[in-house]
């Protein structure tokens, strides 16, 4: 069973399940989840091979969708970002009865070519024996990763005290083709679906809309101005407002 952080809200409202992206964790979503819990109970999970959840040899979307289904007692609204968005889409297609409304944050049900293996290589190359503080780790990562924001994001998954990553780096590397891909799925999810993207991101293209509407006939599209792929971190208030408006409609 996946580990989850729960933020209690009004029990008469459908609960919301949040699935994070690659290298993320439930903890990344704490501020957003807490604000959204004003209207409903929110559960943010650690996906398999991430955070405090169990490690497995497989990291593919059908298994991730089954993981999510197991933490939904009856029915939930589901929000997934990037990798978590793909898992949420497969959940909605394979377990339609579990999902009332679906929000897919900045990802489409297609295969991408942007491998994240270089980031895994950078994390593997970190000499954990030389890490006493997060700053020590950051200085080592600078040799491989120029972007301070990316380094800070990755380091949220480093347990400095235990000198270990809370990421199953070997399996994530082995399964990278599956992570950036999308499985062959049949059927449709006929519930309300919002594809919410960052206006500065190129992850959801106009060319993807035919595929999206084939799988999600009730899909709607919205963009958050000034946001990129990490729209929930870059424009949290606007993101929360868009999510709440859709769920409360």
Mind giving me the DSSP string for 54-108? PP-S---HHHHHHHHHHT-SS-EEEEEETHHHHHHHHHHHH-GGGEEEEEEES--
81 in active site: no
* pTM for this entry: 0.96
- CB count within 10 Å of CB 199 equals 13
**Which one of the listed residues 20, 50, 229, 232 is annotated catalytic?**
229
Rounded CA gap, 79 and 187, in Å? 20
Q: What is the pLDDT along the chain (249 residues), one digit of tens a residue?
A: 999 999 999 999 999 999 999 999 999 999 999 999 999 999 999 999 999 999 999 999 999 999 999 999 999 999 999 999 999 999 999 999 999 999 999 999 999 998 999 999 999 999 999 999 999 999 999 999 999 999 999 999 999 999 999 999 999 999 999 999 999 998 999 999 999 999 999 999 999 999 999 999 999 999 999 999 999 999 999 999 999 999 999
Q: Is 170 a catalytic residue?
A: yes
Choose, from 25, 37, 53, 82, the residue flagged as catalytic: 82
Residue-level length of the chain: 249
Structural domains for the chain: 4-112+181-248 (3.40.50.1820), 117-173 (no CATH)
* 184 part of the active site: no
At 186 the pLDDT is 87
Give 220's DSSP letter.
E
Please state, in angstroms and rounded to a whole number, the distance separating the CA atoms of residues 202 and 198.
Answer: 8
Place of tokens 């169990």: 54
Q: Which of 127, 147, 170, 190 is catalytic?
A: 170
Say what the pLDDT of residue 163 is.
Answer: 94
Please enumerate in sequence order all residues whose Cβ is within 8 A of that of 207, keeping only pairs 6 or more positions apart, or say none.
none
């Amino acid at each position: 069973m996946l580990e989850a952080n729960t933020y209690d809200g009004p029990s008469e409202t459908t609960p919301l399940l949040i699935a994070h992206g690659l290298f993320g964790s439930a903890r990344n979503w704490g501020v957003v989840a807490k604000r959204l819990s004003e209207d409903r109970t929110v559960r943010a999970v650690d996906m398999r091979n991430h955070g405090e959840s169990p490690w497995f040899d497989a990291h593919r979307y059908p298994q991730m969708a089954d993981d999510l289904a197991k933490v939904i007692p009856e029915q939930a609204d589901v929000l997934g970002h990037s990798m978590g968005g793909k898992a949420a889409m497969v959940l909605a297609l394979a377990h339609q009865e579990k999902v009332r409304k679906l929000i897919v944050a900045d990802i489409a049900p297609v295969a991408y070519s942007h491998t994240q293996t270089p980031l895994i290589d950078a994390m593997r190359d970190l000499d954990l024996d030389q890490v006493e503080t997060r700053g020590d780790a950051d200085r080592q990562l600078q040799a491989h990763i120029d972007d301070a924001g990316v380094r800070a994001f990755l380091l949220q998954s480093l347990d400095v005290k235990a000198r270990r990553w809370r990421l199953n780096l070997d399996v994530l590397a082995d399964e990278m083709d599956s992570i950036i891909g999308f499985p062959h799925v049949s059927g449709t999810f006929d519930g309300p679906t919002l594809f919410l993207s960052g206006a500065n991101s190129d992850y959801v293209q106009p060319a993807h809309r035919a595929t999206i509407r084939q799988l999600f006939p009730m899909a709607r599209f919205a963009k958050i101005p000034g946001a990129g792929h990490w729209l929930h971190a870059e424009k949290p208030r606007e993101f929360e407002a868009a999510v709440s408006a859709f769920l409360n409609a």
